[in-house]
């Protein structure tokens, strides 16, 4: 995995945690074509080879914005063809984030508007600072959410709330986002990354194959009937029975020590 992206800072931390920072602070970390390509390359790469990583933390540079959405300065005067070509990049980027085999935690440190809100909603779960603000404002620009927002937000907050927020374009606070189910936890800005790393480290300490299989079972099972979802769960479970990690987990429990999971 390369770390010299133009618009995204990538830093590998201890315990297999990858910190990914949207890095266009002068533009409120707005999503331009290059950022879409950078995120697409990064997350598509993880789908091919996770390189021993166990958790991704996704945040924004600075203290004011996670991601202000699509870069409207870049989009100003775009032809229809250029707009659609750019959007194809954004669509592929979102699919790559959603398909990431390891957990993705969004640490939303400020404004998450439009595409920024969609990126946060594509994560497995979200921690947010008290100064975070969310909105899907696309209808105020004569478009609509097109990077998964109508689907991921509705799954997080429910159909009626999603319709209210998307059809009005109204912004909402981190506290509201937590109450409605989009955000898991709200923290003071200075505690956001610390708390996100704390939960990431806890996840990273669990069986890595177990975590990946459980994530897949939840994500795919929710798209199925209950009976089909339970059948899928058993297939995911059975994948764990012959692993070294399963044997190590039981052995460590009986020996009253912390397990040493190797992802095998």
Which are the catalytic amino acids? 118, 138
Contact between residue 157 and residue 181 where contact means Cβ atoms under 8 Å apart: yes
Contact between residue 208 and residue 54 where contact means Cβ atoms under 8 Å apart: yes
Rounded to an integer, what distance in angstroms lies between the CA atom of residue 228 and that of residue 221? 7
Measured CA angle at 115 (ends 13, 20), to 5 deg: 10
Radius of gyration over every alpha carbon of the chain, rounded to an integer in angstroms: 19
Rounded to an integer, what distance in angstroms lies between the CA atom of residue 97 and that of residue 43? 6
Give the pair of three-digit tokens for residue 127: 């921690």
Rounded to an integer, what distance in angstroms lies between the CA atom of residue 262 and that of residue 248? 9
- Which residues partner with 9 through β-bridges? 21
């Amino acid at each position: 995995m390369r770390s010299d992206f133009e618009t995204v800072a990538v830093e590998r931390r201890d315990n297999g945690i990858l910190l990914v920072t949207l890095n266009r602070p002068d533009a409120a970390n707005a999503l331009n074509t290059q950022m879409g390509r950078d995120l697409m390359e990064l997350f598509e790469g993880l789908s091919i080879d996770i390189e021993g990583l166990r958790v991704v933390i996704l945040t924004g540079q600075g203290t004011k914005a996670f991601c202000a959405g699509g870069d409207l300065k870049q989009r100003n005067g775009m032809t229809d063809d250029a707009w659609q070509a750019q959007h194809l990049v954004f669509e592929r980027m979102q699919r790559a984030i959603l398909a990431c085999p390891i957990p993705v935690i969004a640490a939303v440190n400020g404004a998450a508007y439009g595409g920024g809100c969609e990126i946060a909603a594509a994560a497995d779960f979200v921690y947010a600072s008290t100064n975070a603000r969310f909105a899907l404002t696309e209808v105020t620009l004569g478009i609509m959410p097109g990077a998964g927002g109508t689907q991921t937000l509705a799954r997080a907050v429910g159909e009626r709330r999603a319709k209210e927020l998307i059809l009005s374009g109204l912004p909402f606070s981190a506290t509201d986002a937590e109450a409605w189910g989009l955000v898991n936890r709200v923290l003071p800005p200075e505690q956001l990354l610390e708390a996100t790393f704390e939960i990431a480290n806890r996840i990273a300490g669990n069986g890595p194959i177990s975590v990946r299989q459980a994530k897949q079972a939840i994500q795919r099972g929710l798209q199925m009937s209950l009976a089909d979802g339970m059948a899928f769960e058993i297939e995911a479970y059975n994948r764990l029975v012959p692993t070294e990690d399963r044997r190590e987990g039981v052995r460590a429990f009986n020996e009253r020590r912390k397990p040493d999971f190797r992802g095998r």
